[in-house]
Amino acid sequence: MAVTKPTPARRARVILDTMWSSGTGRYALVVLALWALVALVSLFWTPLPLLATDGYHVWAAPSADHWLGTDGTGADVLSWLMAGSRTNLVIAGLTVIGSAALGLLLVGLMVARSTALASVSVAVVDALISIPTVLIALLLAVPFGASAAVVVGACSIAYGLNLARVARPAALLAARSQYVESARANGAGGLRVLVQHIVPNITPVLAVQLSMSAGTSVLAEAGLTYLGVGVGAGVPSWGHSLSTSVKLINVFPLTVLWPGLVVTLVVIALNLFGDALRDAGDPVANPLLREA
Amino acid sequence: MRFLVKRLLLFAAALVGVSMLVFAALRILPGDVAVVMAGTNASASRVAELRAEFGLDRPYTVQYLDWAGGLLHGDLGMSALTGRSVAAQVGRRAAITFPLIVMSLVVALAVGLPLGCAASIARSPRLRGFLRVLAIAGGAVPALWSGLLLLLLFGRGVGLIGLFPSQGFPADGWSGDPVRAFASLILPALATGFVAAAGIMRYTRSALDDIASDGGPVDMAMACGMTRTQAMLQVGLRLATPQLVSVVGLTFASMITGVMVIENLFALPGLGALLVGDVGNRDLVAVESELFLLAAFFLILGLIVDLTHRALDPRLAAGEEE
Amino acid sequence: MPERAEQGENMSQNNGVHGEAGATSTSTASTDASLNARAKTPKGGNRAGRSGNGKGPKWWLWSLIAVIVVSALVVGVNAFFTNKQNGGNGSASTGGTAAAKQADTVSIGLKLAPVNLDIRHQSGSALEQILIGNVYESLVSRGSDNKVHPGLAKSWEISDDGLTYTFHLNEHMTFSNGDALDADDVAWSINELKANKYYNYDQVKNLDKAEAVDSKTVKITLSAPDSNMLWYLTGRPGLVYDKDGTWDEKTGALGSGPYTVSSFDPSDKIVFKANPKYWGTEHKAKTENVIIRFLPDDNAGINALKSGDVQVLSPITATLAEPFRKDSNYVVKEGDGSDKFVLAFNMTNPKLTDKRVRQAIRYGIDHQQIIASRGGVDSPLGGPIPKVDPGYEDLTDLYPHDEAKAKQLMAEAGYSESKPLQLTLTYANVYGTELGDQLKSQLKPIGIDLKINYVEFSTWLQDVHTNGDYDLSLVDHAESHDFYKWATPSYYYHYDSKEVQDLYAKALAATSDDEASKYLAQAAKIVSEDAPADWLFSWRVTQAYAKGVSGYPENLSQTVLPLWQVTYTPVK
């Protein structure tokens, strides 16, 4: 791994090319690009304004005016899904940042040189991991009300813990390696060791875990909003669209299809993205990267 | 032996930590059971009286010690609101949640194990690729969504082919008509099981791959005249057993919380509904004990899995002890 | 559900925890050889992959067989269940005989469950709905017309000054445990209520004391005339308990009503059995067993009705009831009730002290549209008093939907769509996101930017009801006769009008019902004109039941649910 590093731009280019050349990677890239694009477009334009509700035409079937029909307030489903994509994008992004921060902090503690500190943090993480994401969200929703922040908070905590547990073995190997010993001997502090030596060694795990947690945040948003503690009323999100239509599944079974489909396609893409990124970014697996 | 003692000590420490954390987290929440009980006609003095009656006006340390002391005696406390013991409430709900989890696990194993083996043994890159995508896609489907799809396909009254009861649990539960009770868990079990199957599949594949790439046993079996498939299934799978046991254990544990949304979608009065309801009512003693039970269950399961794993695979014990 | 997706990673994390750090990378390297191959030759990858693939077809075959076997199993197993199910249903519903015969059990699906049965302490209309008139009886009873009827007392007299009520009790009354019910029990129950401040004791704060004149006569003395007194005595304050009885208050009940509680589980059901010792003849239970199932989930409720688990489902979302309207096996009805969806404006909030803003909100909301979106069943409500209560008059003309007028008022107050007023609406997530979405959308054009704080009900109780900390709040006030909240400035509405308080006092002091209604109507009109709140609609309960059910109460069924006359005769 200690090869001389090519410029980051070139590296990124090679990684993207490699991902693009595999079917799954290409699918992931296309879907994610579309997601970002739709989110961007929805900032300026949606087929109909979000607040164009019409109580006399609720749960309408798809038509020329409403391509995907209307929801329980008579608003346009397509417009709400488009606008929902930016809420979910923000939630996913913030969850990745949040869980990475918490996860790395915990990893740092778990591989700390003080055995007491390390084993206590391992035990605490093990125990805390048992608290369901849903419950963390329920608790957070009490003071903050149902909002995107609750989803981000709950996901960051839950996936941060998960990340810490998954990344610990690799981090431990790195932390006990010779070069960390020598870095420490040279007076490097804990934070520097973490950033400079441990993080690069767990990058593959990080890539998979973080894109997975982005995907799971989309699922969690849907589930939590369904339970009434996710994104609240008045804010578009995929979970909002999904959960309002679930309630009427006995009468209008098909309205639930669209949001469900969007969520599934995006989550699959995010998971594939993680795998593809790991494969493409791993010099052992990707010969092109070695050549670069 | 030293390992066991160390694990047990950690286990105890974790339990104490969890109990404190759960207790503290719940006290921060605004609203309490007295307000909920008093309702929309209540005066402030009425709420204060109820608070005193429930002992909510005592210092936190006293309340904590009271609760934790009960736990030490195996007493999970009484729900302030329903006046029933928490243990009885949990037991009643578990009679739905546990069968559901076991059924989901059966589905997950029945689907995930064969596919995982296939993914490892298959030589065609296309097939391998297909199975890999299947595993990832399977894990990506929200249970809410797969549950909905199953309902739309097979739910009676809702779906295209109304095969299974859709939502709800029969009136008399298991004692009334066990067959119907069982039938009403089928769709939810399939919904959670399929998603979990993706995980089992991935893990089986990676465990078998490790053993195959390790050379040794599988090669030896093949040298003795087995085909590669036979060698993998008979020798490889046996060698992978310890790891598979761990997976099953952890899948089981994570399902307890994972079925919450599915229980809600299928309107099953299980543990998930209990927790959500108790948090909503700020029935703090009940929530504390339920969360504590959950954490304890996870930890115990982790412990058991660890120990079984070691018992089945002595190499590990030798490896970590140094 | 979120956890499910982590499953995949739980696997590999397990892998890691147990000390096999290398597993991830090895498996990657080996499985993804194909990817490597394709990476080198992006276009020819597929073809390269297909060659050297001797065992491929066989595995496809195996997978195919597996799929077929699994689906065959699924279909088979479930055909078995379907048969079983149909067979079971058939025999259960007809009770084994072909003739139409009255069933000995009626199952009713309700949405809200009481958390416990402690009617002296626990709040909530679900408790009153289920227990009063069925298990407990009050001194005077309330009918589905929301009027006072004879109960344990067969008649009563009120003195001319309105301060003394004399009740004459029925003969030979007993509790379900066999204890006699006489004037001592009545006086004791009412005095205990006052002394121990049981739930709703403050409704009868003008009641001074109750005394048993003889075993059949009870005298109640008031400190001030109260025209609501009799009506309140039909509810919790008038319930009569056995002085010498003991029972577990949270899980059981002991009363004198036509039914006894044989089991109760808040997560599932309450089972009533006809009280064999019931003292009366008029309200004697017509059906031996009544099971009330709690079905908080709408879809589960519908399935329970379809499968015959329950014969009655109430309430049912109006939209969801549509298929039953078309089905001749079911009857769908709507009933009036006292539920008022109140959008309260915090009168102590500086943004809302400007009357023009409050009026603009009332003009800006299109009630008809909201009602239409909910299935067109609910009725518009223009003021604080619902149709079933004394003092009701149609006030919907005071603030008809008029967007232009609303805009103009907002402009006068200094706001417009480009310079909107920021307000936050706090409401509980049990009411669904639609109402919030609709209000946000309807108030935007008139210059209000509505933020929605969508919270749990207990948070609403704490923040809005207890602390009065809100701009706008939306809640369903289910109680009947609750106008006093507008005459109590400390209530979370914080509405303080001397005129209304005086009128309400006069209404209470009135000695005839007509006089009381007149004052109440005047007060209600002033409240509505002042616009301290908007009344979105009066919720009308939709109920669906199987053909053959009779005697299920139609009106006010959310608060008064006498079940003695319910019967079910399965129809062929």
Is A1 within a domain? no
Total structural domains within chain A: 1
Chain B, 164 to 193: residues with Cβ < 8 Å from chain C are 164-168, 170-171, 173, 177, 179-180, 183, 186, 192
- Nearest-CA distance A219 → chain B (Å): 6
Q: Write a three-state SS string for chain B.
A: CHHHHHHHHHHHHHHHHHHHHHHHHHHHCCCCHHHHHHHHHCCHHHHHHHHHHHCCCCCHHHHHHHHHHHHHCCCCCECCCCCCEHHHHHHHHHHHHHHHHHHHHHHHHHHHHHHHHHHHHCCCHHHHHHHHHHHHHHHHCCHHHHHHHHHHHHECCCCCCCCECCCCCCCCHHHHCHHHHHHHHHHHHHHHHHHHHHHHHHHHHHHHHHHHHCCHHHHHHHHCCCCHHHHHHHHHHHHHHHHHHHHHHHHHHHHHHHCHHHHHHCCCCCHHHHHHHHHHCCCHHHHHHHHHHHHHHHHHHHHHHHHHHHHHCHHHHHHHHC
Chain C interface includes A282 (CB < 8 A): yes
> For C402-422, what is the mean pLDDT?
95
> For A116-128, what is the mean pLDDT?
79
pLDDT in tens, C257-296: 999 999 998 888 899 999 999 998 889 999 999 999 998 8
- CB within 8 Å: A232 and C453: yes
- With H, G, I as helix, E, B as strand and everything else as coil, classify residue C270: strand
Residue in A closest to C42 by C-alpha: A21
According to the model, what pLDDT value does residue B1 have? 66
Q: Write a three-state SS string for C355-381.
A: HHHHHHHHHHCCHHHHHHHCCCCCECC
Residue C566 has pLDDT above 90, yes or no: yes
> Which residues of chain C neighbour A168 with C-beta distances below 8 Å?
16-17
* For chain A, percent of residues with pLDDT exceeding 90: 23
Q: In terms of pLDDT, which residue wins out, C220 or B219? A: C220
Residue C205 has pLDDT above 50, yes or no: yes
According to the model, what pLDDT value does residue C527 have? 96
Alpha helices in C248-315 (DSSP H): 298-307
- CB within 8 Å: A268 and B14: no
Chain A interface includes B250 (CB < 8 A): no
pLDDT in tens, C294-314: 988 888 888 889 888 899 999
According to the model, what pLDDT value does residue C61 have? 59
Q: Mean pLDDT score of chain C, rounded to an integer?
A: 84
Chain C interface includes A200 (CB < 8 A): no
> Which residues of chain A neighbour B275 with C-beta distances below 8 Å?
135, 138
Chain B interface includes A248 (CB < 8 A): no
Task: Give burial (CB, 10 Å; 0-12/13-18/19+) of C96.
Answer: exposed
Q: In terms of pLDDT, which residue wins out, A145 or C137? A: C137
Q: In terms of pLDDT, which residue wins out, C78 or C483? A: C483
- CB within 8 Å: C55 and B123: yes
Is A221 within a domain? yes
According to the model, what pLDDT value does residue C473 have? 96
On the question of a cis peptide bond just before residue C237, with omega within 30 degrees of 0, the verdict is no
According to the model, what pLDDT value does residue C23 have? 30
Which segments of C26-139 are extended strands (E)? 105-110
Band (pLDDT 50/70/90 cuts) for residue B212 is: confident
Choice among A10-19, B110-119, C11-20, C190-199 with the minimum mean pLDDT: C11-20
User: Which H helix or E strand runs over C164?
Assistant: strand C164-169
- CB within 8 Å: A135 and B275: yes
Q: In terms of pLDDT, which residue wins out, A8 or C416? A: C416
Domain residue limits at A76: 8-291
- Nearest-CA distance C253 → chain B (Å): 13
Is A30 within a domain? yes
Is A105 within a domain? yes
Is A48 within a domain? yes
Band (pLDDT 50/70/90 cuts) for residue A101 is: very high
Interatomic CA distance for residues B6 and B1, integer angstroms: 9
According to the model, what pLDDT value does residue C231 have? 94
According to the model, what pLDDT value does residue B261 have? 80
Is A146 within a domain? yes
Residue C352 has pLDDT above 60, yes or no: yes
Residue in A closest to B145 by C-alpha: A260
Choosing among C9, C40, C302, which should be mutated to test the A contact, i.e. which has the most A CBs within 10 A? C9
- CB within 8 Å: B140 and A267: yes
- CB within 8 Å: C250 and B82: yes
pLDDT in tens, C16-69: 333 323 332 323 333 333 333 333 333 333 333 333 343 444 555 566 666 666
> For C383-394, what is the mean pLDDT?
94
pLDDT in tens, B32-73: 788 887 777 777 777 888 888 888 888 888 888 888 888 888
pLDDT in tens, B120-138: 888 788 888 888 888 877 7
When CB atoms are compared, the residue of C319, C368, C454 closest to A251 is: C319
Q: Mean pLDDT score of chain B, rounded to an integer?
A: 80
Chain A interface includes B297 (CB < 8 A): yes
- Half-sphere exposure of residue C99: CA atoms within 13 angstroms, side-chain side: 2
ipTM of the complex: 0.85
According to the model, what pLDDT value does residue C46 have? 38
Q: For residue B29, how far is the Cα from the chain centroid?
A: 26
Chain B interface includes A32 (CB < 8 A): no
Amino acid identity at C87: G
- CB within 8 Å: C34 and B260: no
- CB within 8 Å: A246 and B31: no
Is beta strand C148-150 parallel, antiparallel or unpaired with respect to C140-142?
antiparallel
- Nearest-CA distance C71 → chain B (Å): 12
Chain B, 163 to 202: residues with Cβ < 8 Å from chain A are none
According to the model, what pLDDT value does residue B263 have? 86
Chain A, 42 to 61: residues with Cβ < 8 Å from chain C are 50-56, 58-59
Band (pLDDT 50/70/90 cuts) for residue B213 is: confident
Chain B, 192 to 251: residues with Cβ < 8 Å from chain C are 192, 195-196, 198-200, 202-203, 205-207, 209-210, 212-213, 229, 243, 246-247, 250-251
> Which residues of chain C neighbour A52 with C-beta distances below 8 Å?
441
Band (pLDDT 50/70/90 cuts) for residue C75 is: low
What is the domain class of B92-283 according to CATH? mainly alpha
> For A112-129, what is the mean pLDDT?
79
Is A151 within a domain? yes
Residue in C closest to B33 by C-alpha: C458
Band (pLDDT 50/70/90 cuts) for residue B320 is: very low
> Which residues of chain B neighbour A271 with C-beta distances below 8 Å?
136-137, 139-140
- With H, G, I as helix, E, B as strand and everything else as coil, classify residue C491: coil
According to the model, what pLDDT value does residue B209 have? 81
> Which residues of chain C neighbour A204 with C-beta distances below 8 Å?
24-25, 28
- CB within 8 Å: A228 and C456: yes
- Nearest-CA distance B29 → chain A (Å): 6
Chain A, 131 to 190: residues with Cβ < 8 Å from chain B are 131-135, 138-139, 142-143
- Nearest-CA distance C266 → chain B (Å): 8
- With H, G, I as helix, E, B as strand and everything else as coil, classify residue C45: helix
According to the model, what pLDDT value does residue A285 have? 66
- Nearest-CA distance A6 → chain B (Å): 30
pLDDT in tens, C154-178: 999 999 998 999 999 999 999 999 9
pTM metric for this prediction:
0.83
Find the CATH number of the domain harbouring A219.
1.10.3720.10
> Which residues of chain C neighbour B273 with C-beta distances below 8 Å?
267
